[in-house]
Structure 1
Amino acid sequence: MKGDADIARTAALFADPARVRVLLALGDGRALAASVLAAEARLSAQGVSAHLAKLRDAGLVVAEKSGRHRFYRLAGPDTAELLETLARFSPAQPVTSLREGTRAEALRTARTCYDHLAGRLGVAVTAALLARGALAGAADTRRRPGDRISAPLSEHPYTLGANAGPVFAALGVDLDAAAAGRRPLLKFCLDWSEQRHHLAGALGAAMATRFIDAGWVERRVKAHRALRLTPEGEQALRTRLGIGELAA
């Protein structure tokens, strides 16, 4: 027989700032080498190996071998959702330098939440899909009274809208291909920085992949989760989704 879940044991893994930096570096769903994670978390090779071993034992991180090299990634979207949930309950770290302030603003503007778009960009895209009839249901993307401050939403109020086909086709997203897998097509998260819903699930992942492949967004080298909207992306958002200034 087994007793209650040992929440304290899992929570202790997030009590180390360096270990949290390792998890955040993996937060965009990519697999990274230990050397890259060591640089991101400001750790020695021995230090990052010790942290990765603990995260693997807890089932939060998995390792993959490619030739002679080993790469690490989050065990799945549940781990990323746990990070997002903790972020909502956590106070903001004090900004002590221009570099830290720039990085914090970049994350709030546009980032990945595991493998889908988040931040102001993800929220704006989701709202535009709703406004153009690609999504239907709720009047807007604001947090509903019954929504818990956690991700994903246990019950979301959205379905595909009447204009889903042409809107997603204009964006270059194949709806049929996104729906063909075993993963739910539609899921939504309550964005921790914007407190509004953003699109997740298979369709959210397909959207993020399309934005990256088209060159509409690009990853910021020193902040793996942060994305930069390119001039081509700004034009695409304006013409295809009616999104103007992102900061607005």
Structure 2
Amino acid sequence: MKEGPDISQIGALIGDPARANMLTALMGGQALTASELAGAAGVTLQTASTHLSRLEAGGLIAQRKQGRHRYFALADDEVGLLLENIMGFAANRGLMRTRPGPKDPALRKARVCYNHLAGDFGVRMLDRLVADGDVALDGEEAALTPAGEARIAAIGIDLAALKTQRRPLCRTCLDWSERRSHLSGALGEALLARFIADGWAKREKDSRAIRFTAEGERRFLALFPE
């Protein structure tokens, strides 16, 4: 009998087209209802419920109840990181599900990857932090330097609160459109939340795209120049 982790179970869960579409929809970071996920997967509600039960049993999604309604979301950051890495791997092999559409340029420029900024702007942000010595990379591992802590604090982010979280402060995530890494982890989420709270950007309705205002883009590019 073989020993060790069984990747076939995870592969089977993610490999089904309907479940893959559901997981991709949840990469937007929002909790969705079974009906919404059925629409994303192109299946009936009854079929969607079966898929959701399997995904929940496999630890890929978690259920949230609010009153009479049930919502589903990715189980944790690890699932989001896994899915984004698989997307990056598939894109590197030319395995794309759809042709580029009207929203494609917006998604490539800036989008939400579970809870952090991805796309060209996400990669640009990490590149600048690394170039300025604010983030140190060791392979796929990332760490905020003392200079980086001062910079992030100046942006208005409470690092002390972030450090109390159980998840990593900094992580890298392979960007499927840019084929390079962007910043994830608690810091990646906090930075995107700050941009939205400050009115620099907002999320497009029914899309993972993040739309920066003209002033927000100017400020972002000034903070993270090429």
Report the TM-score when normalising by structure 2: 0.85
CA distance in 2, matches of 1:187, 1:83: 15
Gap change, CA 1:134 and 1:9, over 3 Å in 2 = closer
Aligned twin of 1:211: 195
Q: Does the residue aligned with 1:102 lie in a helix, a strand or coil?
A: coil
Deviating beyond 6 angstroms after TM superposition, the runs of 4 or more aligned structure 1 residues are none
Gap change, CA 1:133 and 1:7, over 3 Å in 2 = closer
1:92 aligns with 2:96: yes
Paired positions, count:
222
Match of 1:168 among 139, 149, 152: 152
Aligned twin of 2:179: 195
8 Å CA contact 2:84–2:173 kept in 1: the answer is: no
Offset at 1:72?
Answer: 0.5
**What aligned pairs does 1:129-148 form with structure 2 within 5 A after superposition?**
129-135=129-135, 137=136, 147=139
8 Å CA contact 1:112–1:118 kept in 2: the answer is: yes
Unmatched 5+ residue regions in structure 2?
none
CA distance in 2, matches of 1:183, 1:163: 19
Identity %: 43
8 Å CA contact 2:108–2:119 kept in 1: the answer is: yes
Offset at 1:132?
Answer: 4.0
CA distance in 2, matches of 1:159, 1:9: 35
CA distance in 2, matches of 1:12, 1:180: 35
Gap change, CA 1:40 and 1:218, over 3 Å in 2 = farther
Report the TM-score when normalising by structure 1: 0.78
More helix by share: 2
Unmatched 5+ residue regions in structure 1?
139-143, 148-152, 244-248
Look up the equivalent residue of 1:93 and give its one-letter code.
Answer: R
Aligned twin of 1:150: none
